[in-house]
Amino acid sequence: MAERVTGQSWETLVRERIFTPLAMKSAATGWPQHLWGHTPGDDGKLIAIDPHGSYQLPDYLAPCGDLQMTTDDLARFLRAHLLAMRGTPAIIPPATAALMHTKRIKGGLGFGVNSIAGFDNVATHSGSADTFITVIAIAAKQNVAVAVSANAAGDAAQHAVGSMLRDLLGRFAEK
Question: pLDDT tens digits for 73-132?
Answer: 999 999 999 999 999 988 889 998 998 888 887 777 878 899 999 999 999 998 876 778
pLDDT value of position 141: 96
What domains are there in the chain, each with its CATH number?
2-25+50-172 (3.40.710.10)
Query: pTM (2 decimals)?
Result: 0.82
Q: How far apart are CA 101 and CA 14, in angstroms?
A: 19
C-alpha to C-alpha distance for 5 and 103, rounded to whole angstroms: 27
Phi, psi torsion values for 59, nearest 5 degrees: -55, -40
User: In a 3-state reduction of DSSP, which class is residue 146?
Assistant: strand
- Angstrom distance (rounded) from CA 124 to CA 145: 10
Q: What is the CA radius of gyration of the chain?
A: 17
pLDDT greater than 90 at residue 136: yes
The predicted pLDDT at position 39 comes to 58
| pLDDT digit string, tens, across residues 18-76 | 999 999 998 888 765 545 555 566 777 766 666 666 666 777 777 777 788 889 999 99
pLDDT at 83: 96
pLDDT of residue 33: 54
What string of DSSP letters covers 105-133? SSBSSSSEEEEETTEEEEEEEEE-TTT-E
